[in-house]
Amino acid sequence: MSQISPSILSADFARLADEAEAVRGSDWLHVDVMDNHFVPNLTLGVPIVESLARATDIPLDCHLMIEDPDRWAPQYVEAGAGSVTFHVEAAAAPVRLAREIRAKGARASMALKPGTPIEPYEDLLPELDMLLIMTVEPGFGGQAFLDIMLPKIRRTRELIDKHGLELWLQVDGGVAASTIERCAEAGADVFVAGSAVYGAENPAEAVAKLRSLADAATADAWWACRH
């Protein structure tokens, strides 16, 4: 079953509680935290995540595009996030950090930028609840989907299969009705969508449509048939 995580980066930041309500029925709410160091953009931090967690029942999927996640990520769990994703490029001790996130009670997730290969991290996968493969360079919403990431999604799904893991595989960047089926076919099962959801006239309908496209593509996919 595919899960959709609408990114509030494309929402109205002055009306976040209403914007969460507008995607009622989505599995997660994707919160992009940017520090203007790891990426050239600045968004929001712990206090807003705390307020948002109180304002919505949808679990928060916090994507930390920040330096020193070893120091900051645990605070996002305390703020109420249900899932916390750190970038492996920024983490000093990814295994220790994933264990700390889990111990504090959230799902632990690790993200890879487009230029970062999955293979060196094969042995870390059992420590994670989700792996995020970026399908654009992180930093901004509304960028074009990078097709060249599809083989990495496929190879990651093969590794998940090989080790028999219950690991979710998330894609983020340029995911829309025109690209989501290719992601699902390659092996993704959690889909972040910012502009495709909040740019739509009816965001909740856009979520439902994306989910049904992904589910249909998954039903015929090489990786799902075996499960």
* Binding status of residue 63 toward Zn ion by CB under 5 A: yes
Contact 199, 10 (CB under 8 A): yes
Q: Considering the rule CB under 6 A, would residue 193 count as an interface residue with ligand DX5?
A: yes
CB 28 within 8 A of CB 58: yes
- Work out whether 61 is an interface residue with Zn ion (CB under 5 A): no
43 part of the interface to ligand DX5, by CB under 6 A? no
3-state secondary structure labels for all residues of 112-162: ECCCCCCHHHHHHHHHCCEEEEECCCCCCCCCCCCHHHHHHHHHHHHHHHH
Name the DSSP class of 211: H
Q: Judge contact between 102 and 108, C-beta under 8 A.
A: yes
**32 counts as catalytic:** yes
Q: Print the binding letters for residues 72-111 with ligand DX5: x by CB under 6 A, - otherwise.
A: ----------------------------------------
172 assigned to active site: yes
For residue 185, the SS3 value is helix
Cα pseudo-dihedral 58, 172, 222, 115, rounded to 10: -150
Cβ closer to ligand DX5: 116 or 195?
A: 195
Q: Does 172 bind Zn ion (CB under 5 A)?
A: yes
- Binding partner selected for residue 194 from Zn ion, ligand DX5, none, CB under the kind-specific 5 to 8 Å limit: ligand DX5
Decide which of Zn ion, ligand DX5, none touches 10; Cβ closer than 5 to 8 Å per partner kind.
Answer: ligand DX5
**134 or 221, CB closer to Zn ion?**
134
- Contact residues for ligand DX5, defined by CB under 6 A: 7, 9-10, 30, 32, 63, 136, 138-143, 172-175, 192-196
